[in-house]
Copies of this chain bind each other. A is one copy, B any other.
Amino acid sequence: MEPSFIKELQTIVGEQYTLSDRESLAVYGYDSTPEIESLPGAVVLPATAEDVSRILRLCHDAGVSVTPRGSGTNLSGGSLSVNAGVVMQTSRLNRIIEVDEENLTATVEPGVVTSALHREVESRSLFYPPDPGSMNISTMGGNVAENSGGLRGLKYGVTADYVMGLETVLANGDLLRTGGKVVKDVAGYSLNPLLVSSEGTLGFFTGITVKLIPKPQGKITMLAHFPVLQDAALAVSAIIAAKVIPATLEFLDKVTIKCVEDYAHVGLPLNVDAVLLIEVDGHPAVIAEEAAAVAEICKKYRCSFFQTAQNADEALNLAAARRTALSALARLKPTTILEDATVPRSCIAPMLKVIQEAAAKYNVTIGTFGHAGDGNLHPTCLTDERDQDEIRRAHAAFAEIFDVAIAMGGTITGEHGVGIAKKKYLPRLVGESGIRVMRGIKQAFDPKGILNPGKVF
């Protein structure tokens, strides 16, 4: 990047917050996506919306690309600059601006860490449900840009369900305010949900207002072991059919169970096909009934073991099996390809079968865990980037898995975004009309195409 351009960036945010030496850039040359690396030309750390606007105006005029970045937990390469442009990082925009207890909203800057918001609102008996796996490091800006899900998605929905208002700086530096603290707003097109999950390609968020709900009064955490995979899937369906909507209804397969047990020693059995982690939350009288229904259903579907946490520590211990799944799997081999093919929940059982068959056919190790209740599975391939043949086979297996997910009425990505990693699958899912419309929308927001180019399509 031209030294003169870097100087201009420095005049906006200062030298200290404009990184361009090779070592600093290296840190921003990767995110949590395997196999993809790309060095930016410079990194800037704005402190205000005004900074963001000036930086974007400068880059827009110069035709330099800008890639927004939070903590770099992106799993589809979305936070990488593909053309040595500017990465604009949100860590200095990290204030919780307001928790409005009367309107049940919180307003934050994009760099606020998700779990910091959880703590702040829970201290006031309020609740911000989205809880992506990376919530202890991921930022709200990234959560909004990717429409992050999480373990509580089944009952509480995803980030999009909570975003009420956005302050966004557009590609040309203009400020756009959409939504706010009103529960109902139909004035013009719904730009909020469009900006949510736009993967940094339509604007840079400088303010985020989210809806809060009262904190559930209680929670019951349960764990069930199933010797037969199919029985676990049947139990999931039966729980929903019984009109019980657990906050969390998570699944671990045999490969994952073994890795978790090796890693965390939480007492998981090595001789079962599947484990379900189930949490119901809400009013004590309700969750007592729901937990009883869950226990009965799991027994009906031949679980070999059923445990209800007796206190908060036990609950944490049971949940740890699921929360550590990814870390545990990641230890086994140098490269972890974590996917998020998603299907209607009624297709969980056949989808699990397809994943196992694809792993066998291509001779790769795939552990599967994830959100059984909402059909959002995480088949995770444990491989090694340096073994090009195995990598090729892994991708072939995933291509089959995605094809089946689409055929089942599912999607190629439930949580992680398209980014760079899934671009080639998107046209298959949304068709030519879908791609044409999406490109037109991009054109409407960013005619020069400077915002996070090379992503989504």
Contacts and interface: CB of A to CB of B under 8 A. Distances in A.
B194 A411 contact: no
A107 to B, nearest CB: 11
A147 B198 CA distance: 21
Contacts of A188: 418, 426, 429-430, 434-435, 438, 456-457
A375 B181 CA distance: 10
Interface stretch (A133-141, A240-248, A258-266, A309-317): A240-248
Given A214-B243, A344-B180, A437-B176, A187 B445 contact: no
Interface stretch (A14-22, A154-162, A299-307, A358-366): A154-162
Interface in A2-37: none
A183 interface: yes
Interface string A333-346: 00000001011111
A398 to B, nearest CB: 14
Given A103-B345, A243-B125, A413 B186 contact: yes
A346 B161 contact: no
Q: Copy number of this protein in the oligomer? A: 2
A430 B190 contact: no
Contact of A433 (B174, B197, B409, B411): B174
A149 interface: yes
A72 interface: no
A184 B437 contact: no
Contacts of A194: 189-190, 193-194, 441
A76 to B, nearest CB: 9
Q: How large is the interface on A (under 10, 10 to 19, 20 to 34, 35 or more residues)?
A: 35 or more
Contacts of A345: 102-103, 183
A441 B215 CA distance: 38
Contact of A197 (B149, B190, B417): B190
Nearest to A285: B285
A416 interface: yes
A5 B447 CA distance: 38
A284 B444 CA distance: 50
A422 interface: yes
A139 to B, nearest CB: 17
A415 interface: yes
Residue of A101, A125, A434 contacting most chain B CB atoms (<10 Å): A434
Interface in A176-234: 176-178, 180-194, 196-198, 202, 213-215
Contacts of A104: 240
A374 B183 contact: yes
Given A177-B431, A184-B374, A188-B430, 13 more contacts: A178-B430, A182-B344, A183-B414, A184-B376, A184-B414, A186-B197, A187-B422, A187-B429, A189-B441, A190-B193, A439-B444, A440-B440, A443-B444
29 contacts: A103-B345, A103-B346, A149-B184, A153-B183, A158-B183, A160-B190, A160-B193, A170-B437, A177-B434, A180-B411, A181-B346, A181-B409, A183-B375, A184-B340, A184-B371, A184-B376, A186-B414, A186-B416, A187-B411, A188-B429, A189-B456, A190-B198, A194-B194, A194-B441, A282-B286, A286-B286, A440-B441, A441-B441, A443-B443
4 residue pairs, one from A and one from B, having the closest CB atoms = A440-B444, A193-B193, A285-B285, A184-B414
